[in-house]
Amino acid sequence: MPRPMGNVRLKAARVAAGYNSQQDLADALTRAADEIGLRGLSVGVRQVRRWESESPPWPQPDCQRVLVHLLGQPMESLGFTPPWGPDDAQRARAHRVPLAGVASVINAAAVPGRTSAAVQPATVGVDFESVTRSHRRLYWSVAPAVLHPAVLAHAALGCALLSETEDPTRRTIAAALAESYLLAGRIEFFDLREPTGASDTLLAALQAAGEADDSLLGAAVIAHMAFIPGWAGDRDAALERMVAARTYARRAPASAEFLAWLDAVEAECETRCGNTRTALNLIGHAEDALTMGNEHASPPWIDWFSPTRLAAFKGNTQLMAGHLPQARETLLRVLDELPAVEDKQRTVVFGDLAAVEAASGSPELACEYACRALDQLNLTWYATGMDRVREVRRALTPYQHERCVRELDDRLYGWSTTLSALSR
Protein backbone atom coordinates (compact mmCIF):
# COMPACT_ATOMS: atom_id res chain seq x y z
CA MET A 1 0.00 0.00 0.00
CA PRO A 2 1.44 3.44 -0.90
CA ARG A 3 1.84 5.65 2.15
CA PRO A 4 -0.49 8.66 2.36
CA MET A 5 1.19 11.81 1.08
CA GLY A 6 -1.00 14.25 2.96
CA ASN A 7 -1.18 17.94 2.08
CA VAL A 8 2.22 18.18 0.40
CA ARG A 9 1.68 21.80 -0.60
CA LEU A 10 1.30 23.05 2.96
CA LYS A 11 4.24 20.88 4.04
CA ALA A 12 6.40 22.33 1.26
CA ALA A 13 5.43 25.90 2.14
CA ARG A 14 6.14 25.22 5.83
CA VAL A 15 9.63 23.83 5.16
CA ALA A 16 10.43 26.60 2.67
CA ALA A 17 9.49 29.21 5.29
CA GLY A 18 11.92 27.62 7.75
CA TYR A 19 9.47 25.74 10.00
CA ASN A 20 10.85 22.22 10.17
CA SER A 21 8.12 20.78 12.41
CA GLN A 22 4.37 21.14 12.75
CA GLN A 23 4.91 22.53 16.25
CA ASP A 24 7.19 25.24 14.83
CA LEU A 25 4.46 26.30 12.40
CA ALA A 26 1.78 26.28 15.10
CA ASP A 27 3.89 28.52 17.35
CA ALA A 28 4.68 30.88 14.45
CA LEU A 29 1.00 31.14 13.48
CA THR A 30 0.05 32.02 17.05
CA ARG A 31 2.69 34.76 17.15
CA ALA A 32 1.69 36.07 13.72
CA ALA A 33 -1.97 36.23 14.74
CA ASP A 34 -1.06 38.58 17.57
CA GLU A 35 1.06 40.72 15.21
CA ILE A 36 -1.82 41.30 12.76
CA GLY A 37 -4.38 42.10 15.44
CA LEU A 38 -6.01 38.67 15.88
CA ARG A 39 -5.33 38.66 19.61
CA GLY A 40 -6.37 35.53 21.42
CA LEU A 41 -6.12 33.27 18.35
CA SER A 42 -4.08 30.22 19.27
CA VAL A 43 -3.14 27.51 16.77
CA GLY A 44 -2.15 24.11 18.17
CA VAL A 45 -0.06 21.35 16.67
CA ARG A 46 -3.15 19.11 16.36
CA GLN A 47 -4.75 21.72 14.10
CA VAL A 48 -1.64 21.91 11.91
CA ARG A 49 -1.61 18.09 11.74
CA ARG A 50 -5.20 18.13 10.46
CA TRP A 51 -4.28 20.77 7.86
CA GLU A 52 -1.39 18.58 6.63
CA SER A 53 -3.55 15.45 6.45
CA GLU A 54 -4.76 13.76 3.27
CA SER A 55 -8.11 15.64 3.46
CA PRO A 56 -7.43 18.97 5.18
CA PRO A 57 -10.50 20.87 6.44
CA TRP A 58 -11.15 24.39 5.15
CA PRO A 59 -9.78 26.69 7.91
CA GLN A 60 -11.84 29.28 9.71
CA PRO A 61 -11.57 32.85 8.30
CA ASP A 62 -9.16 34.09 10.99
CA CYS A 63 -6.93 31.05 10.49
CA GLN A 64 -7.02 31.63 6.73
CA ARG A 65 -5.89 35.20 7.24
CA VAL A 66 -2.91 34.28 9.41
CA LEU A 67 -1.89 31.35 7.15
CA VAL A 68 -1.81 33.60 4.09
CA HIS A 69 -0.01 36.35 6.04
CA LEU A 70 2.70 34.04 7.38
CA LEU A 71 3.31 31.79 4.34
CA GLY A 72 2.60 34.34 1.60
CA GLN A 73 0.37 32.10 -0.52
CA PRO A 74 -3.36 31.80 -1.25
CA MET A 75 -5.31 29.02 0.44
CA GLU A 76 -5.71 26.91 -2.71
CA SER A 77 -1.94 27.07 -3.28
CA LEU A 78 -1.46 25.74 0.26
CA GLY A 79 -3.47 22.63 -0.64
CA PHE A 80 -6.89 23.62 0.76
CA THR A 81 -10.09 23.04 -1.22
CA PRO A 82 -12.85 25.65 -0.63
CA PRO A 83 -16.18 24.21 0.57
CA TRP A 84 -18.25 25.85 -2.17
CA GLY A 85 -19.01 24.03 -5.41
CA PRO A 86 -17.29 24.46 -8.78
CA ASP A 87 -20.24 26.45 -10.14
CA ASP A 88 -19.69 29.19 -7.58
CA ALA A 89 -16.63 30.52 -9.44
CA GLN A 90 -17.20 34.17 -8.59
CA ARG A 91 -17.17 33.49 -4.87
CA ALA A 92 -14.01 31.39 -5.23
CA ARG A 93 -12.24 34.19 -7.07
CA ALA A 94 -13.17 36.63 -4.28
CA HIS A 95 -11.30 34.45 -1.77
CA ARG A 96 -8.19 33.97 -3.92
CA VAL A 97 -5.22 36.04 -2.73
CA PRO A 98 -2.83 36.87 -5.58
CA LEU A 99 0.66 35.40 -5.06
CA ALA A 100 3.61 37.43 -6.27
CA GLY A 101 6.13 35.53 -8.35
CA VAL A 102 6.15 32.53 -10.58
CA ALA A 103 5.15 30.13 -7.80
CA SER A 104 1.51 31.11 -8.40
CA VAL A 105 1.53 29.17 -11.67
CA ILE A 106 1.46 25.91 -9.73
CA ASN A 107 -2.10 26.75 -8.61
CA ALA A 108 -3.19 25.10 -11.86
CA ALA A 109 -1.88 21.72 -10.66
CA ALA A 110 -4.31 19.04 -9.58
CA VAL A 111 -5.08 18.11 -6.02
CA PRO A 112 -3.91 14.50 -5.40
CA GLY A 113 -6.73 12.06 -6.01
CA ARG A 114 -8.88 14.49 -8.03
CA THR A 115 -10.38 13.07 -11.20
CA SER A 116 -10.09 15.06 -14.41
CA ALA A 117 -12.45 15.43 -17.31
CA ALA A 118 -9.57 15.16 -19.81
CA VAL A 119 -6.99 12.43 -19.24
CA GLN A 120 -3.85 12.65 -21.35
CA PRO A 121 -2.12 9.50 -22.67
CA ALA A 122 0.83 8.09 -20.74
CA THR A 123 3.23 9.27 -23.45
CA VAL A 124 2.88 12.91 -22.35
CA GLY A 125 5.01 12.17 -19.31
CA VAL A 126 7.93 11.00 -21.42
CA ASP A 127 7.46 13.87 -23.86
CA PHE A 128 7.33 16.53 -21.15
CA GLU A 129 10.34 15.02 -19.40
CA SER A 130 12.38 15.04 -22.61
CA VAL A 131 11.93 18.81 -23.03
CA THR A 132 12.98 19.33 -19.41
CA ARG A 133 16.09 17.27 -20.11
CA SER A 134 16.87 19.38 -23.19
CA HIS A 135 16.56 22.61 -21.19
CA ARG A 136 18.99 21.17 -18.66
CA ARG A 137 21.61 20.72 -21.40
CA LEU A 138 20.87 24.09 -23.03
CA TYR A 139 21.61 25.89 -19.76
CA TRP A 140 25.34 25.55 -20.30
CA SER A 141 25.39 27.39 -23.64
CA VAL A 142 22.19 29.41 -24.18
CA ALA A 143 22.02 32.98 -22.84
CA PRO A 144 20.05 32.99 -19.55
CA ALA A 145 17.74 35.81 -20.64
CA VAL A 146 16.76 33.68 -23.66
CA LEU A 147 16.42 30.33 -21.91
CA HIS A 148 14.62 31.57 -18.78
CA PRO A 149 11.23 32.43 -20.38
CA ALA A 150 11.26 29.14 -22.30
CA VAL A 151 11.78 27.18 -19.08
CA LEU A 152 8.96 29.05 -17.34
CA ALA A 153 6.60 28.50 -20.27
CA HIS A 154 7.42 24.79 -20.16
CA ALA A 155 6.73 24.77 -16.40
CA ALA A 156 3.32 26.40 -16.99
CA LEU A 157 2.51 23.58 -19.41
CA GLY A 158 3.53 21.06 -16.77
CA CYS A 159 1.15 22.64 -14.25
CA ALA A 160 -1.71 22.27 -16.72
CA LEU A 161 -0.78 18.67 -17.50
CA LEU A 162 -0.83 17.71 -13.83
CA SER A 163 -4.60 18.18 -13.79
CA GLU A 164 -5.01 16.02 -16.91
CA THR A 165 -2.96 12.95 -16.00
CA GLU A 166 -3.08 10.06 -13.58
CA ASP A 167 -0.36 8.17 -11.72
CA PRO A 168 2.28 7.07 -12.60
CA THR A 169 2.37 9.59 -15.49
CA ARG A 170 1.35 12.36 -13.13
CA ARG A 171 4.36 11.74 -10.90
CA THR A 172 6.67 11.70 -13.90
CA ILE A 173 5.36 15.12 -14.93
CA ALA A 174 5.56 16.45 -11.36
CA ALA A 175 9.21 15.42 -11.04
CA ALA A 176 10.10 17.00 -14.39
CA LEU A 177 8.14 20.10 -13.39
CA ALA A 178 10.13 20.36 -10.16
CA GLU A 179 13.34 20.11 -12.17
CA SER A 180 12.15 22.84 -14.55
CA TYR A 181 11.33 25.19 -11.70
CA LEU A 182 14.68 24.35 -10.09
CA LEU A 183 16.45 25.27 -13.33
CA ALA A 184 14.48 28.53 -13.55
CA GLY A 185 15.39 29.32 -9.95
CA ARG A 186 19.06 28.63 -10.62
CA ILE A 187 19.00 30.99 -13.59
CA GLU A 188 17.33 33.71 -11.52
CA PHE A 189 19.77 33.40 -8.63
CA PHE A 190 23.13 32.65 -10.26
CA ASP A 191 22.73 34.14 -13.77
CA LEU A 192 20.33 37.05 -13.38
CA ARG A 193 20.96 38.00 -9.74
CA GLU A 194 17.26 38.02 -8.75
CA PRO A 195 17.18 36.36 -5.30
CA THR A 196 13.59 37.38 -4.53
CA GLY A 197 12.26 35.86 -7.74
CA ALA A 198 14.45 32.80 -7.21
CA SER A 199 12.92 32.28 -3.76
CA ASP A 200 9.39 32.17 -5.22
CA THR A 201 10.45 29.91 -8.07
CA LEU A 202 12.27 27.47 -5.80
CA LEU A 203 9.17 27.29 -3.60
CA ALA A 204 7.22 26.20 -6.70
CA ALA A 205 9.93 23.59 -7.35
CA LEU A 206 9.55 22.27 -3.80
CA GLN A 207 5.79 22.04 -4.19
CA ALA A 208 6.19 20.08 -7.43
CA ALA A 209 8.76 17.77 -5.82
CA GLY A 210 6.20 17.13 -3.09
CA GLU A 211 3.59 16.29 -5.71
CA ALA A 212 6.08 13.75 -7.13
CA ASP A 213 7.01 12.52 -3.63
CA ASP A 214 10.66 12.80 -4.71
CA SER A 215 12.69 13.33 -1.54
CA LEU A 216 16.05 13.65 -3.29
CA LEU A 217 14.77 16.33 -5.64
CA GLY A 218 13.22 18.06 -2.64
CA ALA A 219 16.60 17.99 -0.90
CA ALA A 220 18.24 19.59 -3.95
CA VAL A 221 15.64 22.37 -4.04
CA ILE A 222 15.94 23.15 -0.32
CA ALA A 223 19.75 23.19 -0.56
CA HIS A 224 19.46 25.76 -3.35
CA MET A 225 17.14 27.75 -1.08
CA ALA A 226 19.97 27.82 1.48
CA PHE A 227 22.14 29.79 -0.96
CA ILE A 228 19.80 32.79 -0.74
CA PRO A 229 20.25 33.59 2.98
CA GLY A 230 23.80 32.19 2.89
CA TRP A 231 24.93 34.71 0.31
CA ALA A 232 23.19 37.45 2.29
CA GLY A 233 25.19 36.52 5.41
CA ASP A 234 22.22 35.04 7.31
CA ARG A 235 23.97 31.94 8.66
CA ASP A 236 21.13 30.74 10.91
CA ALA A 237 18.59 30.71 8.09
CA ALA A 238 21.02 29.03 5.69
CA LEU A 239 21.96 26.27 8.13
CA GLU A 240 18.32 25.69 9.06
CA ARG A 241 17.57 25.00 5.40
CA MET A 242 20.61 22.73 5.14
CA VAL A 243 19.29 20.66 8.06
CA ALA A 244 16.02 20.26 6.15
CA ALA A 245 17.89 19.37 2.93
CA ARG A 246 19.95 16.69 4.67
CA THR A 247 16.80 15.31 6.32
CA TYR A 248 15.14 14.91 2.92
CA ALA A 249 18.29 13.32 1.49
CA ARG A 250 18.24 10.63 4.21
CA ARG A 251 14.82 9.51 2.98
CA ALA A 252 16.18 8.46 -0.41
CA PRO A 253 19.18 6.50 -1.70
CA ALA A 254 21.57 9.45 -2.04
CA SER A 255 24.81 9.00 -3.98
CA ALA A 256 28.19 9.98 -2.58
CA GLU A 257 28.29 12.74 -5.17
CA PHE A 258 24.97 14.17 -3.97
CA LEU A 259 26.04 14.07 -0.32
CA ALA A 260 29.34 15.73 -1.22
CA TRP A 261 27.42 18.48 -3.01
CA LEU A 262 25.38 19.15 0.14
CA ASP A 263 28.68 19.58 1.99
CA ALA A 264 29.84 21.98 -0.73
CA VAL A 265 26.66 24.07 -0.49
CA GLU A 266 26.98 24.35 3.26
CA ALA A 267 30.68 25.17 2.86
CA GLU A 268 29.89 28.03 0.50
CA CYS A 269 27.29 29.40 2.91
CA GLU A 270 29.81 29.20 5.76
CA THR A 271 32.41 30.93 3.59
CA ARG A 272 30.01 33.76 2.77
CA CYS A 273 29.33 34.15 6.49
CA GLY A 274 33.05 34.35 7.32
CA ASN A 275 33.50 30.86 8.78
CA THR A 276 36.23 29.58 6.47
CA ARG A 277 37.64 27.00 8.88
CA THR A 278 34.26 25.29 9.15
CA ALA A 279 33.90 25.53 5.38
CA LEU A 280 37.28 23.87 4.74
CA ASN A 281 36.34 21.04 7.11
CA LEU A 282 33.11 20.51 5.17
CA ILE A 283 35.00 20.47 1.88
CA GLY A 284 37.42 17.91 3.32
CA HIS A 285 34.44 15.76 4.31
CA ALA A 286 33.06 16.09 0.77
CA GLU A 287 36.39 15.04 -0.73
CA ASP A 288 36.43 11.96 1.51
CA ALA A 289 32.85 11.11 0.46
CA LEU A 290 33.80 11.27 -3.22
CA THR A 291 36.88 9.11 -2.63
CA MET A 292 34.97 6.45 -0.70
CA GLY A 293 31.86 6.51 -2.90
CA ASN A 294 28.81 4.33 -2.30
CA GLU A 295 26.55 1.98 -4.24
CA HIS A 296 23.97 4.60 -5.21
CA ALA A 297 23.94 6.31 -8.61
CA SER A 298 23.51 10.06 -8.93
CA PRO A 299 20.31 11.42 -10.49
CA PRO A 300 20.82 12.74 -14.03
CA TRP A 301 19.81 16.28 -13.08
CA ILE A 302 22.78 16.90 -10.76
CA ASP A 303 24.92 18.10 -13.66
CA TRP A 304 26.09 21.18 -11.76
CA PHE A 305 28.56 19.28 -9.55
CA SER A 306 31.72 17.23 -10.00
CA PRO A 307 35.11 16.74 -8.25
CA THR A 308 36.40 19.65 -10.30
CA ARG A 309 33.51 21.84 -9.18
CA LEU A 310 34.26 20.86 -5.58
CA ALA A 311 37.87 21.95 -6.10
CA ALA A 312 36.56 25.30 -7.37
CA PHE A 313 34.56 25.67 -4.14
CA LYS A 314 37.73 24.84 -2.23
CA GLY A 315 39.86 27.38 -4.11
CA ASN A 316 37.41 30.17 -3.34
CA THR A 317 37.30 29.23 0.34
CA GLN A 318 41.10 29.11 0.52
CA LEU A 319 41.14 32.58 -1.03
CA MET A 320 38.69 33.92 1.54
CA ALA A 321 40.71 32.30 4.32
CA GLY A 322 43.85 34.09 3.14
CA HIS A 323 45.62 30.87 2.09
CA LEU A 324 46.81 32.44 -1.14
CA PRO A 325 49.46 29.94 -2.36
CA GLN A 326 47.08 27.03 -1.76
CA ALA A 327 44.21 28.89 -3.46
CA ARG A 328 46.39 29.66 -6.49
CA GLU A 329 47.47 26.02 -6.82
CA THR A 330 43.90 24.73 -6.45
CA LEU A 331 42.38 27.19 -8.92
CA LEU A 332 45.06 26.65 -11.58
CA ARG A 333 44.41 22.92 -11.36
CA VAL A 334 40.66 23.56 -11.72
CA LEU A 335 41.32 25.69 -14.79
CA ASP A 336 43.26 22.82 -16.39
CA GLU A 337 40.59 20.23 -15.53
CA LEU A 338 37.42 22.16 -16.46
CA PRO A 339 35.64 20.61 -19.47
CA ALA A 340 35.23 22.79 -22.55
CA VAL A 341 31.49 23.27 -21.88
CA GLU A 342 32.09 24.78 -18.41
CA ASP A 343 32.29 28.36 -19.68
CA LYS A 344 30.27 29.85 -16.82
CA GLN A 345 32.42 28.22 -14.16
CA ARG A 346 35.53 29.33 -16.04
CA THR A 347 34.58 33.01 -15.52
CA VAL A 348 34.33 32.40 -11.77
CA VAL A 349 37.72 30.68 -11.66
CA PHE A 350 39.35 33.51 -13.63
CA GLY A 351 37.79 35.97 -11.18
CA ASP A 352 39.05 34.05 -8.16
CA LEU A 353 42.55 33.79 -9.64
CA ALA A 354 42.47 37.53 -10.24
CA ALA A 355 41.51 38.04 -6.60
CA VAL A 356 44.39 35.82 -5.47
CA GLU A 357 46.87 37.94 -7.46
CA ALA A 358 45.34 41.21 -6.27
CA ALA A 359 45.70 40.06 -2.65
CA SER A 360 49.27 38.94 -3.40
CA GLY A 361 50.25 42.41 -4.65
CA SER A 362 50.44 41.46 -8.34
CA PRO A 363 48.06 43.92 -10.03
CA GLU A 364 49.21 43.17 -13.59
CA LEU A 365 48.50 39.45 -13.26
CA ALA A 366 45.22 40.22 -11.47
CA CYS A 367 44.14 42.43 -14.38
CA GLU A 368 45.14 39.76 -16.88
CA TYR A 369 42.89 37.18 -15.23
CA ALA A 370 40.07 39.71 -14.85
CA CYS A 371 40.25 40.52 -18.57
CA ARG A 372 40.12 36.81 -19.41
CA ALA A 373 36.97 36.60 -17.32
CA LEU A 374 35.48 39.53 -19.26
CA ASP A 375 36.37 37.84 -22.55
CA GLN A 376 34.41 34.80 -21.45
CA LEU A 377 31.50 36.87 -20.15
CA ASN A 378 31.14 38.48 -23.58
CA LEU A 379 30.52 34.98 -24.94
CA THR A 380 28.49 33.49 -22.06
CA TRP A 381 26.91 35.84 -19.56
CA TYR A 382 27.00 34.82 -15.89
CA ALA A 383 26.14 37.35 -13.21
CA THR A 384 28.12 35.42 -10.59
CA GLY A 385 31.22 35.72 -12.78
CA MET A 386 30.73 39.45 -13.23
CA ASP A 387 30.37 39.82 -9.46
CA ARG A 388 33.82 38.25 -9.10
CA VAL A 389 35.35 40.75 -11.55
CA ARG A 390 33.80 43.70 -9.75
CA GLU A 391 35.13 42.41 -6.42
CA VAL A 392 38.60 42.23 -7.95
CA ARG A 393 38.35 45.79 -9.24
CA ARG A 394 37.47 47.01 -5.74
CA ALA A 395 40.50 45.13 -4.39
CA LEU A 396 42.68 46.90 -6.97
CA THR A 397 41.77 50.40 -5.71
CA PRO A 398 45.30 50.97 -4.28
CA TYR A 399 46.66 50.41 -7.81
CA GLN A 400 44.00 52.32 -9.74
CA HIS A 401 46.48 54.77 -11.29
CA GLU A 402 48.54 52.00 -12.83
CA ARG A 403 48.20 51.37 -16.54
CA CYS A 404 46.97 47.77 -16.21
CA VAL A 405 44.09 48.83 -13.93
CA ARG A 406 43.09 51.67 -16.25
CA GLU A 407 43.04 49.19 -19.14
CA LEU A 408 40.84 46.91 -17.06
CA ASP A 409 38.50 49.85 -16.42
CA ASP A 410 38.31 50.48 -20.16
CA ARG A 411 37.18 46.89 -20.59
CA LEU A 412 34.91 46.82 -17.56
CA TYR A 413 33.14 50.04 -18.48
CA GLY A 414 33.22 49.76 -22.26
CA TRP A 415 30.00 50.10 -24.24
CA SER A 416 29.55 46.39 -24.91
CA THR A 417 30.26 45.19 -21.37
CA THR A 418 28.19 47.89 -19.67
CA LEU A 419 25.21 47.41 -21.97
CA SER A 420 25.40 43.63 -21.56
CA ALA A 421 25.42 43.93 -17.78
CA LEU A 422 22.54 46.41 -17.65
CA SER A 423 20.34 44.61 -20.19
CA ARG A 424 20.29 41.22 -18.48
Indicate if the pLDDT at residue 345 is higher than 70: yes
Confidence tier at 313 by pLDDT (50, 70, 90): very high
Segment 164-181, tens digit of pLDDT: 888 899 999 999 999 999
- The candidate with the shortest Cα–Cα distance to 310, out of 337, 341, 276, is 337
What's the mean pLDDT in 240-261?
95
Q: Please check whether residue 55 is in contact with residue 13, taking contact to mean a CB–CB distance below 8 angstroms.
A: no
Which of 371 and 13 is assigned the larger pLDDT? 371
Burial class (CB in 10 A: 0-12, 13-18, 19+), 1: exposed
Which of 273 and 119 is assigned the larger pLDDT? 273
Non-local (6+) Cβ contacts of 8 within 8 A are 79, 112, 207, 210, 211, 213
Q: Give the model's pLDDT for residue 383.
A: 86
Indicate if the pLDDT at residue 133 is higher than 80: yes
Max CA-CA distance within the chain? 73
Q: Give the model's pLDDT for residue 17.
A: 82
Residue 76 CA to residue 105 CA, distance in Å, equals 12
Confidence tier at 79 by pLDDT (50, 70, 90): confident
Q: Give the model's pLDDT for residue 418.
A: 53
Extents of the domains making up the chain:
1-76, 128-213, 330-424
Range of lowest pLDDT (105-119, 265-279, 393-407): 105-119
Indicate if the pLDDT at residue 200 is higher than 90: no
What's the mean pLDDT in 370-392?
90
What's the mean pLDDT in 55-67?
84
Name the average pLDDT for the chain.
86
Range of lowest pLDDT (118-127, 182-191, 237-246): 118-127
Residue 168 CA to residue 211 CA, distance in Å, equals 12
What's the mean pLDDT in 67-72?
82
Indicate if the pLDDT at residue 85 is higher than 70: no
Task: Express as a percent the part of the chain with pLDDT over 90.
Answer: 59
Using CA atoms, how far residue 63 sits from 28, 34, 36, 93, 256, in Å, is: 12, 12, 12, 19, 43
Q: Give the model's pLDDT for residue 415.
A: 53
Residue 2 CA to residue 294 CA, distance in Å, equals 27
Indicate if the pLDDT at residue 302 is higher than 70: yes
Indicate if the pLDDT at residue 83 is higher than 70: no
- The candidate with the shortest Cα–Cα distance to 264, out of 233, 230, 298, is 230
